[in-house]
Structure 1
């Protein structure tokens, strides 16, 4: 009687995943108990490639870095597909069995690289790889005044003399008018005379 495997292929994958999770957890627990824990100021500062960090690490981050990182990942994953292709294309035994394998793999790699190059050209043409640069926008108006009139006005204004700048204060302070002795001694009378009512006597 033939032995039948009691575990399916998916069961083997599940056992592999559970074993990996347990081993990673054991490594973290072992690191927690055995690794030295001596935090200080130097260890808790943000890493700046060996330079002294200045300012706060919470700064606005340019989104263009994210696009460049995506392009890097695109071509990084491309190399993962190029390595197995190179092993097939460089295998003489496979090509000796059938010469069409070499041509098929070569055409397939050209198609693959062509798709990636088209994607890169699209991103480049769209301007996503360019850094943020201010675009110069010349102002335009619908005025009917000719340009020669503006130039003439500018020439006339250039003949005006500009007052030289001085650091000294030029604010004129008005002195108070002199007060005569008669005005100083005169006492103004009130404009109204107060009157007081006597309270009525109760009989």
Structure 2
């Protein structure tokens, strides 16, 4: 993935240009392919599936707005899956990458030759450029190896992969809790009948006959007059 601002701007311009070309190409093809069949009904007002009959002050069915609001709420909640997917993807990439390696041997800054090995025959290590770039995409400006890790390539590479493996597992637990809360809310509104298009009719059919009989007897009760 390019990190040069000029390359990023070039890619954005390319994507925008392809999108505009695709849009206008479809409009142009439709202009020559679709049949010309003008009709008066095609010019009539269409609002939320309600027929435009009568006064403009007529009350629309509020069930549409309830269902539409529920759709917007759950649609926005699902959008929160995308940041999680980004973090999870980068974490698994860092945890499983082998080429280029997450950690490489540290070269001597003087002449570019490999640095001498430390005590015990271990080789000093540093983060690879690709790993640093992925770290920066996660919001870490100056990534570096953990100071608590022995300064060897093998130990440092193992520590980096284990840390991102733990991050990937944590993100799975996090999205599991979020999705569970989302499902509980969905079943709650489903249980309440908020997803029923004609809620009043379904509730009236569910009423017991005893309630109707009691209401009928109450209306037929004689009233004494003085």
TM-score range, shorter chain: 0.3 to 0.5
Larger radius of gyration: 1
* Structure of greater relative contact order (alpha carbons < 8 Å, 6+ residues apart): 2
Q: State the TM-score, normalized to the length of structure 1.
A: 0.40
More helix by share: 2
Give the structure-2-normalised TM-score: 0.37
